[in-house]
């Protein structure tokens, strides 16, 4: 089976979030980038498990600049066979998805996996856009995935429960918690990652549909009101009269 | 000009549906709802009270993203709508991106406010910041984060029409649907009681459940608690779990790590119970109690009982 996993980078989850240039740009000063946790822990690791069980190849694909190569090598160290970087700034989800779609069309994958969302922009958009461009089924927020011949069985979260369904492949599936356990790359993986192929391809001519204009930070929270642990009646009364939430 | 609102009515018409219709109304144009699912005619018609001028319903369309996308696209064509509004729920996450490609309409997901011109305010960096996204296309799609605006009723019921959208067959086959009975689904809950490793073991969750049931709240937990198996996975909130925005979030025995906060910082009011006065969670809290959860939670349950019986 030929598997494609879409990998994006995201700021380390403990990064301080601030902006520069009149709040129009994310301040990357001192920010460490990691593989977006959903892409790594869930999509990539499940793809590797499927390959280990049934054979095939796992290719990872990133729309990004040369600065992303270190993040791509991390994903290779976890076990992907090869990487493709489409050499462009991922300006919006549409632009990103259309770039990946061009590559995927030319290379015919059985299954394309994405993460549930990027933790910086939280759009949950790229996977569905990719599926529409490829004209294949899309299942979002999968928590389990198995493939048998040309049928994938997928468990997904639905409002307040789970649903199990079947879909024929090729398909695009976005991956959430439950899919797989995190894998820590070992020394051998890290060494091997250095020599695995990382192909850089030129972007297609695509126009983004949206643009981020600027950012702002939520207003600072007022100081926390401390309540005597012996006096829960006071808390209840504040929640009712002051906060008006009960 | 009209604005199209998509609603999946399979589970009836909930608060999220009223929010999106009210939101669409604020955009100023005629509001038409396109729905699938099996809600009865009266509840669909009640969307008129929130601003819809009519509801088009295709009950033959199931949940498959390809089918729903085709249905909405054909409704957009039939009504000449240039803007489509979703609630940013699970269906929207699978359908809105497809529709964006199909209609070549710029998509903004996770909107928290009414657009200013072509620019929409969204939640980014897991709730740690807001972004202002400009849509550069004439056709636009916005999916609204639940609990961002108040539904505004006051109008009158509208007409409900059957709509044959010719959406084709479903490309997925549903084998099984499992829903825990009687529980409040976490993302929809207005009140949430959550606990972490400070509770020491699964046998101590009784006091969390009692407080939750007294309040009519859902229960949640931190990641390690779900990972060790003390609590079911669907209760895990945070960066890698579910993101929630209840009116009230009560956190007991949770340190308040940044990845946990990422999933709960949209809550209107946060109450933190922790033995450690230095726990980072207090910085994000509205009300703090430095104390032992094993004493404070039962006391709070009693106080809620007392309050309910006197109100
Ligand atoms: C990439 C990444 C993603 C992550 N995603 C998530 C996520 O989605 N959600 C999440 O929750 N975490 C996530 N984490 C883990 C997170 O960093 C923390 O480790 C975790 O939230 C800690 O859980 P906790 O607060 O329950 O436990 P602890 O950190 O062990 O805190 C326990 C707290 O309980 C207090 N306590 C002890 N006894 C009592 C008592 N008797 N009464 C009251 N208080 C008491 C202690 O003072 C302490 O503050 C993630 C981590 C990483 C690296
Ligand atoms: N620049 C990118 N390159 C490759 N894949 C991406 C990129 N951005 C997002 N993705 C994939 O799309 C998923 C959803 O991203 P988003 O729509 O931004 O929330 C991510 O989890 C990744 O799998």
Domain boundaries, chain B: 2-162, 186-309
Chain B residue with minimum CA distance to A218: B129
Judged against a pLDDT cut of 70, whether residue A80 lies above it is answered with yes
Question: Quick one: pLDDT band at residue B311, thresholds 50, 70, 90?
Answer: confident
Query: Most B CBs within 10 Å: which of A163, A237, A240, as the mutation test of the B interface?
Result: A163
Instruction: Note which residues in 41-100 of chain A have CB less than 8 A from chain B.
Output: 41, 92-94, 97-98
Chain A residue with minimum CA distance to B190: A245
DSSP B224-252: HHHHTTSS-GGGBBSTTSB----SEEEEE
Q: Which of A137, A138, A227 sits opposite B287 (nearest CB)?
A: A227
Answer whether B2-162 and B186-309 agree in fold. yes
Answer whether residue A127 is part of any domain: yes
CA of A86, closest atom in ligand 2? 3
CA distance B5 to B101: 18
Residues B54-87 have pLDDT tens digits of: 999 999 998 899 999 999 999 999 999 999 999 9
More confident residue, B63 or A90: A90
- Asked if A236 has any chain B CB less than 8 Å from its own CB, the reply is yes
Q: Tell me which residue of B165, B20, B147, B176 sits closest to B92, measured CA to CA.
A: B20
According to DSSP, the residues that pair with B160 across neighbouring strands are: B55
Q: Give the pLDDT of residue B229.
A: 94
Specify the residue for token string 């011949």.
A149
Q: What's the sign of the alpha-carbon dihedral A223, A226, A232, A234?
A: negative
Question: Quick one: pLDDT band at residue A92, thresholds 50, 70, 90?
Answer: very high
A59 lines ligand 2 (CB under 6 A): no
CA of A129, closest atom in ligand 2? 17
Whether ipTM exceeds 0.90: yes
Answer whether residue A171 is part of any domain: yes
Query: Which CATH architecture group holds B186-309?
Result: 3-Layer(aba) Sandwich (3.40)
- Asked if B309 has any chain A CB less than 8 Å from its own CB, the reply is no
| A125 phi, psi to nearest 5 deg | -115, -40
Judged against a pLDDT cut of 90, whether residue B233 lies above it is answered with no
Contacts of residue B126 in chain A, CB cutoff 8 Å?
A: 119-120, 122
Q: Give the pLDDT of residue B182.
A: 60
Judged against a pLDDT cut of 80, whether residue B185 lies above it is answered with no
According to DSSP, the residues that pair with B56 across neighbouring strands are: B34, B161
CA distance A47 to chain B (A): 19
CA distance B307 to B70: 51
CA distance A91 to chain B (A): 12
Residues A25-47 have pLDDT tens digits of: 999 999 999 999 999 999 999 99
Q: Give the pLDDT of residue B180.
A: 66
Q: Give the pLDDT of residue A160.
A: 67
CA distance B34 to chain A (A): 20
Q: Which of A127, A143, A245 sits opposite B248 (nearest CB)?
A: A245
B295 lines ligand 1 (CB under 6 A): no
CA distance B2 to B24: 9
Rounded to two decimals, the pTM is 0.91
- Asked if A115 has any chain B CB less than 8 Å from its own CB, the reply is no
Number of domains into which chain A is organized:
1
In this complex, do A120 and B125 lie within 8 Å of one another by their Cβ atoms?
yes
Instruction: Note which residues in 185-214 of chain A have CB less than 8 A from chain B.
Output: 208-214
CA of B279, closest atom in ligand 1? 49
What's A136's domain CATH number? 3.40.50.620
Percent of chain A predicted with pLDDT > 70: 99
Judged against a pLDDT cut of 70, whether residue B183 lies above it is answered with no
Answer whether residue A155 is part of any domain: yes
Cis (ω within 30 of 0) for the bond into A88?
A: no
Neighbours of B60 (CB within 10 A): 15
Q: Give the pLDDT of residue B24.
A: 97
Answer whether residue A246 is part of any domain: no
Q: Which domain holds residue A116?
A: 2-216
Taking the alpha carbons at both ends of chain A, their separation in whole angstroms is: 54
CA distance B310 to chain A (A): 12
Please name which ligand lies nearest the alpha carbon of B261.
Answer: 1
Q: Tell me which residue of A142, A145, A144, A147 sits closest to A54, measured CA to CA.
A: A147
CA of A125, closest atom in ligand 2? 17
Mean pLDDT of the B170-182 span: 83
- CA separation (Å) from B209 to A2, B198, B250, B288? 46, 16, 12, 20
- Asked if B229 has any chain A CB less than 8 Å from its own CB, the reply is no
Q: Tell me which residue of B128, B99, B124 sits closest to B110, measured CA to CA.
A: B124
In this complex, do B133 and A167 lie within 8 Å of one another by their Cβ atoms?
no
Answer whether residue A87 is part of any domain: yes
Question: Quick one: pLDDT band at residue A224, thresholds 50, 70, 90?
Answer: very high
Query: Which CATH architecture group holds B2-162?
Result: 3-Layer(aba) Sandwich (3.40)
3-state class (DSSP) for residue B256: coil
Chain B residue with minimum CA distance to A241: B307
């Amino acid at each position: 089976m030929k598997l494609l996993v879409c990998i994006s980078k995201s700021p380390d989850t403990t990064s301080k979030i601030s902006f520069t240039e009149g709040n129009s740009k994310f301040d990357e000063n001192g920010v460490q980038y990691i593989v977006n946790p959903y892409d790594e822990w869930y999509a990539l690791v499940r793809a590797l498990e499927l390959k280990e069980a049934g054979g095939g190849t796992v290719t990872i694909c990133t729309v990004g600049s040369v600065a992303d190569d270190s993040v791509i090598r991390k994903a290779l160290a976890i076990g992907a066979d090869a990487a493709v970087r489409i050499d462009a700034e991922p300006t919006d989800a549409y632009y990103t998805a259309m770039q990946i779609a061009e590559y995927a069309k030319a290379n015919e994958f059985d299954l394309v996996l994405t993460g549930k969302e990027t933790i910086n922009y939280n759009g949950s958009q790229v996977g569905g856009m990719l599926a529409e461009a490829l004209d294949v089924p899309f299942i979002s927020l999968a928590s389990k995935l198995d493939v048998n011949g040309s049928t994938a069985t997928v468990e997904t979260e639905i409002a307040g429960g789970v649903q199990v369904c079947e879909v024929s492949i090729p398909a695009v599936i976005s991956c959430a918690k439950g899919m797989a356990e995190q894998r820590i790359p070992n020394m051998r993986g890290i060494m091997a990652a250095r020599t695995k192929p990382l192909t850089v391809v030129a972007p297609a001519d695509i126009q983004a549909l949206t643009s981020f204009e600027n950012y702002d930070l939520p207003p600072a929270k007022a100081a926390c009101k401390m309540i005597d642990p012996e006096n829960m009646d006071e808390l209840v009364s504040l929640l009712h009269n002051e906060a008006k939430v009960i | 000009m009209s604005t199209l609102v998509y609603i999946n009515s399979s589970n009836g018409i909930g608060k999220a549906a009223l929010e999106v219709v009210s939101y669409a109304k604020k955009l100023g144009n005629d509001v038409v709802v396109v729905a699938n699912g099996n809600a009865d005619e009266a509840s669909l018609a009640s969307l008129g009270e929130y601003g819809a001028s009519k509801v088009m319903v295709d009950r033959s369309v199931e949940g498959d993203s390809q089918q729903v996308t085709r249905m909405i696209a054909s409704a957009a064509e039939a009504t000449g709508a240039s803007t489509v509004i979703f609630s940013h729920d699970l269906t929207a996450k699978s359908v809105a991106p497809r529709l964006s490609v199909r209609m070549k309409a710029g998509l903004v997901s996770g909107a928290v406010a009414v657009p200013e011109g072509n620019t929409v305010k969204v939640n980014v960096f897991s709730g740690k910041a807001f972004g202002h996204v400009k849509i550069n296309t004439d056709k636009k799609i916005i999916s609204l984060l639940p609990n961002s605006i108040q539904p505004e009723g006051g109008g009158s019921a509208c007409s409900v029409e059957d709509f044959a959208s010719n959406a084709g067959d479903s490309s997925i086959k549903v084998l099984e649907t499992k829903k825990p009975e009687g529980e409040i689904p976490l993302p929809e809950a207005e009140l949430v009681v959550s606990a972490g490793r400070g509770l020491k073991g699964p046998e101590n969750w009784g006091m969390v459940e009692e407080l939750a049931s007294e309040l009519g709240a859902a229960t949640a937990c931190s990641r390690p608690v779900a990972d060790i198996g003390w609590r079911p996975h669907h209760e895990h909130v945070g960066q890698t779990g579910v993101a929630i925005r209840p009116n009230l979030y009560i956190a007991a025995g949770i340190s308040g790590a940044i990845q946990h906060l990422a999933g709960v910082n949209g809550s209107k009011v946060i109450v933190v119970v922790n033995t450690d006065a230095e726990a980072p969670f207090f910085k994000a809290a509205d009300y703090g109690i430095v104390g032992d959860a094993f004493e404070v939670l039962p006391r709070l349950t009693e106080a809620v009982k007392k309050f309910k019986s006197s109100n």
